Amino acid sequence: MIYAGFDYGASADSQVLKFAMIETADALRRLDEIAATPSLDGLYVGPSDLSLALGGAQGFDKDETHMLEAYSAIVAACKRHGLTAGIHTASPAFAGRMAEMGYRFITLVGDFNFILAGRGVVRQARESLAASGRSPS
Residue pLDDT, tens place only, 68-109: 999 999 999 999 999 999 999 988 899 999 999 999 999 987
Of residues 74, 28, 79, 84, the one with CA closest to residue 52: 28
Summarised one tens digit per residue, pLDDT across range 98-128 is 999 999 999 987 666 667 667 777 778 888 8
The domain locations on the chain are 11-110
- Domain 11-110 in CATH 3.20.20.60: yes
Q: In 1-137, which residue ranges form alpha helices assigned H by DSSP?
A: 8-11, 25-29, 31-35, 47-53, 65-81, 92-101, 111-131
Whole-model pTM? 0.76
d(CA 26, CA 38): 20
